[in-house]
Chain A
Amino acid sequence: MSDKEIIYRHSRAVRLTHWINALVLLVLLMSGLQIFNAHPALYLGQASDFDKPILAMNAVRTEDGLKGVTTLFGREFDTTGTFGLGGDAANGYQRRGFPWWATLPGHRNLSMGRRWHFFFAWLFLLNGLVYLLWSLGSGHLRRDLAPSGEELRHVGVSVSEHLRLKFPKGDEAKRYNVLQKIAYLLVALILLPLMLLTGLAMSPGMDAAFPFLIDMFGGRQSARTIHFIAAGLIVIFVVIHLVMVLITGVWNNLRSMITGRYVIEPTEKRP
């Protein structure tokens, strides 16, 4: 036990903004799916070409009754029960994109979904600004997140170690490893700001105030599609993040994100 070391891993600002962000992103995701369900189709360009959605979830009447059909780039998939059509014959079918258990509120209510979404979008913005300004001011970004040239050169080694579920110990565990740094930077500096900008690009008011928002993403419907894809990428990040939290010592990780304290396992010394 004596060679175990406890370090102060996460500052108060990181811990606070992390948990606020976790809650805010969950509400934004679920209320976002509610909004998506009001018109469960995505398009490219300035306007909706209803004949050519790149993604659409519809309930379609066939000879065998109602079916949920998801169209992706013109290919049709039967997604009855998952996307397009939910429920069953006994309790009645529901036409909807995503299942109602994934949305907020948990039944069709676009106006409430919008209210949740925009209120939490403001929290998201404020929390994100606090995090970014603090990260710049305190040196967190430069000290803890920016990967060094040395680290980037050895990114392949880190990938292969991760694939073998071999994680840094000892002194190396006191810092984020290079894959963590890249993942966190991609999310904090690219994906989350992209969510904000594509979200604003869907606002007719903001489009009039800042026409570059429309051009930046190639049109409002493209912005809506990118908003959806970026949200999906964040979900993938969160899933990987949670898996990593679980397999690299869930209690140590959780404690460090709550109290800041993190136990460094000594480098392996086999008895």
Chain B
Amino acid sequence: MSGQRKLDRRGFLARGLAAVSTALLGGCEDLSNQSWVRRVLDSAETLTRVTQEALLSQQALAREFSEAYISREFKANGSTNPDDADYVAQAKNGFADWKLVVGGLVEEPLEFSLAELRTMPSRTQITRHDCVEGWSCIGKWKGVRLSTLLERVRLKPQARYIVFYCADALGRTGTAADKYYESIGLADAFHEQTILAYEMNDRVLPVAHGAPLRLRVERQLGYKMAKYVMRIEAVESFIPILGGRGGFWEDRGYEWYAGI
């Protein structure tokens, strides 16, 4: 084989590789927008959820840390100061008139004031908060177990998900369609560490971190842990709610199961 031909072949190979990679990458770009590709890629979410549910016993706890690990700066992400008029008014008088509404598929819908929640048995935990973006912060949370509230209102047998409606709107329009909401399954809802926190690092929960009440779901990512929780609803399916995918970020493409 002559040197010239060898060079031609190399040039051909290099051009070929470039063409293949462009096609592949450009292809992936186009592919991302096709619904069947989305469905195939989404199948991994189900696989991940089913696998993690199989590996995670109901009792398995997220790691709890000692006080020494508490982050000096706990990043406040998403909404940090809701401008909803009702919320602003309630914040002004220290949430004295605020009430958490618990309803939906329950035997006895109830409302709880902040003072009532504070008199109920509490749980304190120092846990790691993992943001979907990649960073982690460690904070100390005190609150009432979600299971305590659910046992008070008694779920109907059809109830499968617990939905949290929030005061903040993260979307562009600031209307009801852009209000933050989240949902979790019953396994997480009744988990020992799933609490509605009213204290953070031994202080009243600050507005930036979701005052007066934020959800902690310690075995999932940060976006599941709704801040500014106003109302809780037990439902059979979250498909009829807003975008139908079970949460604000879920409606915008993120996984409902955020254990990874």
Q: A residues engaging B (CB < 8 A)? A: 26-27, 30, 35-36, 38-39, 41, 43, 46-51, 104-106, 109-112, 114-116, 118-119, 121-122, 202-211, 214, 220-221, 224, 246, 250-251
Q: In the bound complex, do residue A224 and residue B28 qualify as a contact, i.e. CB atoms below 8 Å apart?
A: no
Q: How far is the CB of B181 from chain A (nearest CB, A)?
A: 17
Q: How far is the CB of A124 from chain B (nearest CB, A)?
A: 11
Q: Of residues 227 to 260 in B, which have CB atoms within 8 Å of A's CB atoms?
A: 249, 252-255, 258-260
Select from chain B the residue with minimum beta-carbon distance to A210. Answer: B55
Partner of B220, one of A39, A114, A204, A251: A204
Select from chain B the residue with minimum beta-carbon distance to A120. Answer: B44
* Chain A neighbourhood of B28, CB < 8 A: 27, 30, 104-105, 116
Q: How far is the CB of B45 from chain A (nearest CB, A)?
A: 7
Q: How far is the CB of A27 from chain B (nearest CB, A)?
A: 7
Q: In the bound complex, do residue B133 and residue A39 qualify as a contact, i.e. CB atoms below 8 Å apart?
A: yes
B112 is an interface residue with CB less than 8 A from chain A: no
Most interface-central of A36, A122, A205 (chain B CB within 10 A) = A205
Q: In the bound complex, do residue B25 and residue A204 qualify as a contact, i.e. CB atoms below 8 Å apart?
A: no
Complex CA gap A35/B75 in Å reads 18
With A46-B69, A47-B138 in contact, do A207 and B62 touch (Cβ < 8 Å)?
A: yes
With A38-B134, A39-B135, A221-B136 in contact, do A47 and B71 touch (Cβ < 8 Å)?
A: yes
B148 is an interface residue with CB less than 8 A from chain A: no
B177 is an interface residue with CB less than 8 A from chain A: no
Q: In the bound complex, do residue A204 and residue B29 qualify as a contact, i.e. CB atoms below 8 Å apart?
A: no
Q: In the bound complex, do residue A204 and residue B69 qualify as a contact, i.e. CB atoms below 8 Å apart?
A: no
Q: Of residues 203 to 228 in B, which have CB atoms within 8 Å of A's CB atoms?
A: 218-221
Q: In the bound complex, do residue B134 and residue A206 qualify as a contact, i.e. CB atoms below 8 Å apart?
A: no
Interface residues of B, count at CB 8 A: 53
Complex CA gap A221/B128 in Å reads 11
Q: How far is the CB of A227 from chain B (nearest CB, A)?
A: 10
With A118-B260, A204-B219, A250-B13 in contact, do A47 and B29 touch (Cβ < 8 Å)?
A: no
Q: In the bound complex, do residue A205 and residue B260 qualify as a contact, i.e. CB atoms below 8 Å apart?
A: yes
Q: Beyond A27-B28, A115-B253, A208-B56, list 10 extra A-B contacts (CB 8 Å).
A: A48-B71, A49-B71, A49-B72, A111-B255, A121-B44, A205-B259, A206-B259, A208-B62, A221-B136, A250-B13
Q: How far is the CB of A211 from chain B (nearest CB, A)?
A: 6
* Chain B neighbourhood of A246, CB < 8 A: 10
Q: In the bound complex, do residue A205 and residue B56 qualify as a contact, i.e. CB atoms below 8 Å apart?
A: yes
* Chain A neighbourhood of B44, CB < 8 A: 115, 118-119, 121-122
Q: In the bound complex, do residue A110 and residue B128 qualify as a contact, i.e. CB atoms below 8 Å apart?
A: no
Complex CA gap A112/B56 in Å reads 26
11 contacting pairs across A/B (C-beta < 8 A): A35-B134, A38-B132, A39-B135, A46-B136, A47-B137, A48-B75, A110-B132, A119-B41, A204-B128, A208-B219, A209-B57
Complex CA gap A220/B75 in Å reads 16
Q: In the bound complex, do residue B128 and residue A47 qualify as a contact, i.e. CB atoms below 8 Å apart?
A: yes
* Chain A neighbourhood of B133, CB < 8 A: 38-39, 110
Complex CA gap A38/B85 in Å reads 32
* Chain A neighbourhood of B219, CB < 8 A: 204-205, 208
Q: In the bound complex, do residue B45 and residue A118 qualify as a contact, i.e. CB atoms below 8 Å apart?
A: yes
Complex CA gap A122/B10 in Å reads 35
Complex CA gap A122/B220 in Å reads 19
Complex CA gap A104/B61 in Å reads 34
With A35-B134, A41-B135, A47-B128 in contact, do A203 and B259 touch (Cβ < 8 Å)?
A: yes
Q: How far is the CB of B211 from chain A (nearest CB, A)?
A: 22
* Chain B neighbourhood of A112, CB < 8 A: 32, 253
Q: In the bound complex, do residue A46 and residue B128 qualify as a contact, i.e. CB atoms below 8 Å apart?
A: yes
Partner of B134, one of A39, A116, A119, A211: A39
B131 is an interface residue with CB less than 8 A from chain A: yes
Partner of B25, one of A30, A48, A122: A30
* Chain A neighbourhood of B259, CB < 8 A: 203-206
Q: In the bound complex, do residue A204 and residue B60 qualify as a contact, i.e. CB atoms below 8 Å apart?
A: no
With A115-B45, A119-B43, A209-B60 in contact, do A204 and B135 touch (Cβ < 8 Å)?
A: no
